[in-house]
Structure 1
Amino acid sequence: MNLLIEVLAFAVAIGVLVVVHEYGHYSVARMCGVKVLRFSIGFGKPLVQWVSPKTGTEWTIAALPLGGYVKMLDEREAGAPIPPEALPHAFNRQHVAKRFAIVAAGPIANFILAIVLFAAVFATGVSEPAAIVAAPAPNTAAALAGFDGGETVVAVRNADAGSTEPVRSWSDLRWKLLGAAFDHRRVILSAKDSHGTFDFPLDLRDVSEKDVDDDFMSHLGFEPGGGKLIVAGVQAGSAAQHAGLAAGDRLVSIDGKPTDNATAFIAYVKTHAGKAITLQVERGGDAQQGGKTEDIHVVPLAQRDDTTGQQIGRIGAELATQVPSIQVRYGPIESLQLGAHRTWDLAAYSVRMFGRMITGEASLKNLSGPVTIADYAGKSARLGPSAFLSFLALVSISLGVLNLLPIPVLDGGHLLYYLVEAATGKAVSDRWQLVLQRAGLACIVALSAIALFNDLARLIHF
């Protein structure tokens, strides 16, 4: 069933994104007076064909659905001479500004789609973790800023100057800190607890570029807090089982210190190999009202860490965190503004990541291919409409950014040709275009191979 959901979600995602991208090319080509011969979703053998009696465009759905194209009238690709009356409608006869607009329209359509999708999510409302900070690990940026755990972040502002921006949820906090880290800025976080609202200075000027990844918040010491840390399962023969820990137990504290975060809990256990620790757990009742409190003494078993080679402590318990969530909803105008802002942030982040992968500052493991996209498509679809729409928006932005890269074969490569033509008054020669096309194709093949390797590595945990 899960495989069927993944396949269907992937097909819907690719279909929507390809149609929107190619329709961007098609619509602007039509507005510029260019004759469109074929609009194809997919490559290879046509499965469904229909010719518009009004425009003469052939609409096709082909056998290989991973992509699509718009074929326009062009003297360079025509198999036979074009009638003189049709020449004004040939793509190659258009002014360079029109050709630039037609090619740029595809990626722009992807960005517009992302804005609309994000706006729809913001307008209809989405349930997100509250911006409550768990007790940070020692010597992390969060700990040095003064967070003890349990504070709710309500606003952020630049330490030097700038207006205060409200923080509505955990993801909102993450994006604001991510932007500050990219710009190497100092910020002030306003957070409240039972004693009032306080300012916490956070210095992000020295954040390593390699730390700006999926675990960015963890590197800073920020983890969602204020919830319940639940034992989801216990491994047979483990220290947790011998001590009497059971699935469903709610962890309250470890050695007298409150715990509501799996990352901090695991880090503490790792440093106590062979040393007894005391866990306070709640049993019975429910996650809201609580139940009977018990103390359980566990001695973590010493095991070799595959990454560091050092001995660390493990108790053999699977953990799950139930954090407080809030319903975030915005008005129509604010939703569009936030959608545009989120799209811009993600596009800028993608460009920076591509640049850092090229310079070696970021790992090529960040590249993902169709297997990972299908996996996340299925997962987001199972989470609900908001998650799936957000996923679609994210992939649409990635597709737009990828196509704007100045690599021949991609839209960005053609745009580069037109910029050179506009600056010099001369088109790039066919010979140079052929050489650059081959180089660009080699780049695309290499990127695709790396992405596929990363997909397989994640699949088999290589």
Structure 2
Amino acid sequence: MNLLIELLAFAVAIGVLVVVHEYGHYSVARLCGVQVLRFSIGFGKPLVQWVSQKTGTEWTIAALPLGGYVRMLDERETGGAPIPPEALPHAFNRQSVWRRFAIVAAGPIANFLLAIVLFALVFATGVTEPAAVVATPAPNTPAALAGFDGGETVVAVRTETAGESERVRSWSDLRWKLLGAAFDHKRVVLSAKDAHGISDFQLDLRGITEKDVDDDFMSRLGFEPGGGKLTVAGVQPDSAAQKAGLAVGDRLRAINGVPTDNATAFIAYVKSHAGVPVTLQVERGGPAAGKLEDVRIVPQSQRDEATGQQIGRIGAELATQVPSIDVRYGPVESLQLGARRTWDLAVYSVRMFGRMIVGEASLKNLSGPVTIADYAGKSARLGPSAFLSFLALVSISLGVLNLLPIPVLDGGHLLYYLVEAVTGKVVSDRWQLVFQRAGLACIVALSAIALFNDLARLIHF
């Protein structure tokens, strides 16, 4: 069933993104008076075809759905067959350089516009997200050095040199603001409230490198969602947890006197205490609900297959319930936020790709169709908001990818037109062929790396 959901979600995602991208090319070509011969969704053998009586365009749905194209009237692609004189003004190659530029750029721009609309829908309809409550940070992390003890709710962020604060509405909002500051290597001031009022915390992000900016970015800073309940969801037989008397439903309040409300921090603490007794403060569930007890437990020492080191484990499955908040915006603000989120993600994508080229970021960040299908299915199961956000993210990635100055992509053609606009001369067919072969080699290499990463994630290399 999960596989079916993933395939359907992937098909919908790819279908929507391809249609929007190609329709961007198509619509601007029509506005410029260019005759569009074919609008194809997919490649290979046509499955469905029909011809528009109004425009003469052949609309096609082909067998291989990973992409599409818009074929326009062009003297260079007729196979030697002459074009009637009355049709020449409608040929793509007869248009001015700026019209050709607009037609080619329209595809990626359509993807960005789609992302803005999708994000705006998510912001306008509302989404439930974890609140920006900070769990007790690990020692010596930037969050701990900034003075966070755990339990504070971050309400605003500002750079150290700027006076205007930006409101923080949720954990996701906090993550994006810190991500942007980390890329710019800035020091920021976080305003957070607790039982005593609102305080400012200075967070130094100047030492964060691009390699640190990944899925574990917030954890590296010492930030984990907090303020919730950490409970025992399962106990393994003959484990340290069972021997100590832990039971399903027990709430873990503290470990060695340190308050705990986050599974990540708790697990890290246990791992670092292999064979060393620790004391848990437990709030009993079940018939003894509400009763506080101190439970002494000795984490069993086991070899970590990833690092080869000995780590501690107690054999308990944990569940975290963090406080959540419903985030909803008005129509105008939703569009503004959608545009800003699209811009931030596009800039982040370009920066990350640049870091990968110069070796400052891992090529493991590249993903292929298998990973996209996996995330499509997962986001679809989480609900409409998650799927729309995923669709917007992939749409931005597609737009950025197509704008890269690589021949065979839209960005490569745009580069040709910029050279033509500056020099007044069209890039020769010979050089275009050379660049096209080089660009094709780049695309094949990127696709191979992305596919390898997909397979590595599947079999856990």
TM-score normalised by L of structure 1: 0.97
Letter in 1 for 2:364: K
Contact 2:252 2:282 in 1 (8 A): yes
Structure 1: distance between partners of 2:149 and 2:376: 37
Look up the match of 1:81: 82
Deviations for 1:52-74, whole angstroms, at most 9, x for unmatched residues? 00000011111111111101011
Residues 116-131 of structure 1: matches in 2 within 5 Å? 116-131=117-132
Contact 2:10 2:372 in 1 (8 A): yes
Relative to structure 2, which stretch is displaced further, 354-363 or 72-81? Answer: 72-81
Deviations for 1:121-180, whole angstroms, at most 9, x for unmatched residues? 000111010000000001110001000000000001111124111100000000110010
Relative to structure 2, which stretch is displaced further, 423-432 or 270-279? Answer: 270-279
1:38 matches 2:38: yes
1:378 matches 2:363: no
Structure 1 residues 394 and 192, CA, compared in 2 at 3 Å: closer, same or farther?
same
Look up the match of 1:364: 363
Relative to structure 2, which stretch is displaced further, 223-232 or 404-413? Answer: 223-232
User: Residue 143 of structure 2 aligns to a residue in which SS?
Assistant: helix
Q: CA shift at 1:253, angstroms?
A: 1.3
Structure 2: distance between partners of 1:241 and 1:403: 55
Contact 2:236 2:315 in 1 (8 A): yes
Look up the match of 1:252: 253
Q: CA shift at 1:256, angstroms?
A: 2.2
RMSD: 1.4
Structure 2: distance between partners of 1:255 and 1:229: 15
Look up the match of 2:16: 16
Residues 413-428 of structure 1: matches in 2 within 5 Å? 413-428=412-427
Contact 2:304 2:311 in 1 (8 A): yes
In structure 2, runs of 5+ residues without a counterpart are: none
Look up the match of 2:146: 145
Q: CA shift at 1:285, angstroms?
A: 5.8
Look up the match of 2:102: 101
Letter in 2 for 1:320: A
User: Residue 427 of structure 2 aligns to a residue in which SS?
Assistant: coil
1:6 matches 2:20: no
Q: CA shift at 1:304, angstroms?
A: 2.2
Look up the match of 1:92: 93
Structure 1 residues 157 and 285, CA, compared in 2 at 3 Å: closer, same or farther?
farther
User: Residue 77 of structure 2 aligns to a residue in which SS?
Assistant: coil
Contact 2:251 2:285 in 1 (8 A): no
Look up the match of 1:59: 59
Q: CA shift at 1:91, angstroms?
A: 0.6
Deviations for 1:169-217, whole angstroms, at most 9, x for unmatched residues? 0000001100101111111100000001000011111112110111111
User: Residue 291 of structure 1 aligns to a residue in which SS?
Assistant: coil
User: Residue 446 of structure 1 aligns to a residue in which SS?
Assistant: helix
How many equivalent pairs are there? 460
Deviations for 1:54-113, whole angstroms, at most 9, x for unmatched residues? 000011111111111101011111132111111111111110000000000000000000
Letter in 2 for 1:276: P
Structure 1 residues 187 and 317, CA, compared in 2 at 3 Å: closer, same or farther?
same
Structure 2: distance between partners of 1:11 and 1:394: 16
Structure 1 residues 235 and 449, CA, compared in 2 at 3 Å: closer, same or farther?
farther
User: Residue 326 of structure 1 aligns to a residue in which SS?
Assistant: strand
Structure 2: distance between partners of 1:189 and 1:422: 47
Q: CA shift at 1:262, angstroms?
A: 1.2
User: Residue 290 of structure 2 aligns to a residue in which SS?
Assistant: strand
Contact 1:285 1:291 in 2 (8 A): no
Structure 1: distance between partners of 2:376 and 2:140: 37
Structure 1 residues 248 and 78, CA, compared in 2 at 3 Å: closer, same or farther?
farther
Q: CA shift at 1:290, angstroms?
A: 6.0
Look up the match of 2:223: 222
Letter in 2 for 1:13: A
Look up the match of 1:26: 26
Look up the match of 2:342: 343
Q: CA shift at 1:232, angstroms?
A: 2.8
Structure 1: distance between partners of 2:233 and 2:94: 66
Contact 2:44 2:64 in 1 (8 A): yes
Q: CA shift at 1:308, angstroms?
A: 3.3
Contact 2:120 2:334 in 1 (8 A): yes
Letter in 2 for 1:274: G
Look up the match of 1:265: 266
Residues 446-461 of structure 1: matches in 2 within 5 Å? 446-461=445-460
Contact 2:249 2:286 in 1 (8 A): no
Residues 397-436 of structure 1: matches in 2 within 5 Å? 397-436=396-435
Residues 275-354 of structure 1: matches in 2 within 5 Å? 275-284=276-285, 291-354=290-353
TM-score normalised by L of structure 2: 0.97
Structure 2: distance between partners of 1:320 and 1:433: 57
Task: Among all aligned residue pairs of Structure 1 and Structure 2, give the percentage whose two residues are the same amino acid.
Answer: 86
Relative to structure 2, which stretch is displaced further, 307-316 or 53-62? Answer: 307-316
